[in-house]
Amino acid sequence: MSERVEKILANYAGETPGVIGNMRRILMHGRLGGTGKLVILPVDQGFEHGPHRTYAPNPPTFDPAYHAKLAVESGCNAYAAPLGMIEAIANDYAGQLPLILKVNNSDSLGGPDAPHSALTSDIDDALRLGCSAIGYTIYPGSPHRNQMYQDLRDLIRRGRAVGLPTIVWAYARGKMSKEGETAIDVIAYAAQIAAQLGAHMIKVKPPTAFLEQDKAKPLYKDIPHATLEERVRHVVQSAFNGRRIVIFSGGASKGREAVLDDIRAIAAGGGNGSIVGRNAFQREHGESLALLDEIMSIYEKA
């Protein structure tokens, strides 16, 4: 047992034992197990962006087994991917690595104005494959957001009944400026929406200092948001004052030091961890392991 983990789980006192058990399993697994911090390896980019944009920078990553092995070797808390990727590795890794089934996905072949992910798998698939949680993306700002919220409501209810927690990717997108998708007021709002919908863990993008909503701008004069550390602290506050686990994406591909600077700010701001995909696996294998090692070292000291 870990005092830090049990303190986090105490915020979920109304949940079923199955949900708490799987959350504890994820929080206690890997190098950061017991610290209350998380590093998750997600590989849904092949579906979302296409195989060559995703895997060509490091060709061995075309093989689904590469990613699960990287998650184990680096000591990640869990591995998240769509149905096909999980099916390809579940026989070898279910039980030794917490698996998260990403149950909705979309491609990048359509237009950006009305984003809406399709349900590409279900609770039954997650149970069949031995998963510890499901993942679901919402797009606050999309004209289709209300349907996504309703689908998420049903998935959370059904997942809870069989002991599966839900991790919500809260990515604002649609009727807003491109800068607004990562604006501090929008990211904080997206985290609040995910918490209100019943997410057990919330994934958002690192917020910028940009402000999108005119009605929010006067209020942010009194909310510190000049630095990423301050912005992370505000996003965590927006998720029920830190009562919900909030993790941050690695964002677009960038240099090693830029990645680590973000991680330091997330850790200092009280974020629960990171979900790092392309910035890890698109590097050569040894470099990937070294970067993940440095990321975990930062969270270990937080």
* Average pLDDT of the segment spanning 271-275: 98
- Known catalytic membership, residue 149: no
* Average pLDDT of the segment spanning 99-122: 85
Structural domains of the chain, with CATH: 3-300 (3.20.20.70)
**Active-site entry in 189, 203, 205, 299:** 203
Q: Give residue 204's pLDDT.
A: 98
Phi, psi of 35 (to 5 degrees): -85, -15
Q: Which helix (H) or strand (E) holds 113?
A: none
Which residue, 3, 14, 69, 87, is CA-closest to 240?
14
The whole-angstrom separation of Cα 234 and Cα 247 is 13
**Active-site entry in 171, 189, 205, 299:** 171
**Residue 60 in contact with residue 288, Cβ under 8 Å?**
no
Using the predicted structure, report yes or no on whether residue 64 has a pLDDT greater than 90.
yes
Range from 8-12, 23-27, 44-48, 146-150 carrying the lowest mean pLDDT: 44-48
| Burial of 98 per CB tally in 10 Å (0-12, 13-18, 19+) | buried
Q: Give residue 111's pLDDT.
A: 62
Proportion of the chain above pLDDT 90, given as a percent: 89
What average pLDDT does the chain have?
A: 95
Q: How confident is the model at residue 215 (pLDDT cuts 50, 70, 90)?
A: very high
The 10s digit of each residue's pLDDT in 223-257 is 999 999 999 999 999 999 999 999 999 877 789 99
Angle at which helices 64-74 and 83-93 cross, to 10°: 60
The 10s digit of each residue's pLDDT in 276-293 is 999 999 999 999 999 999
The 10s digit of each residue's pLDDT in 115-140 is 788 899 999 999 999 999 999 999 99
Q: How confident is the model at residue 113 (pLDDT cuts 50, 70, 90)?
A: low
Using the predicted structure, report yes or no on whether residue 110 has a pLDDT greater than 90.
no
**Residues contacting 93, CB < 8 A, separation 6+:** 68, 72, 79, 99
- Three-state SS at 168: strand
Range from 15-19, 42-46, 228-232 carrying the lowest mean pLDDT: 42-46
Using the predicted structure, report yes or no on whether residue 91 has a pLDDT greater than 90.
yes
Neighbours of 91 (CB within 10 A): 10
- Known catalytic membership, residue 171: yes
Which residue, 53, 64, 112, is CA-closest to 88?
64
Q: How confident is the model at residue 179 (pLDDT cuts 50, 70, 90)?
A: very high
Q: Which segments within 139-276 are labelled E, that is strand?
A: 166-170, 201-204, 245-249, 273-275
Q: How confident is the model at residue 175 (pLDDT cuts 50, 70, 90)?
A: confident
**Residue 61 in contact with residue 281, Cβ under 8 Å?**
yes
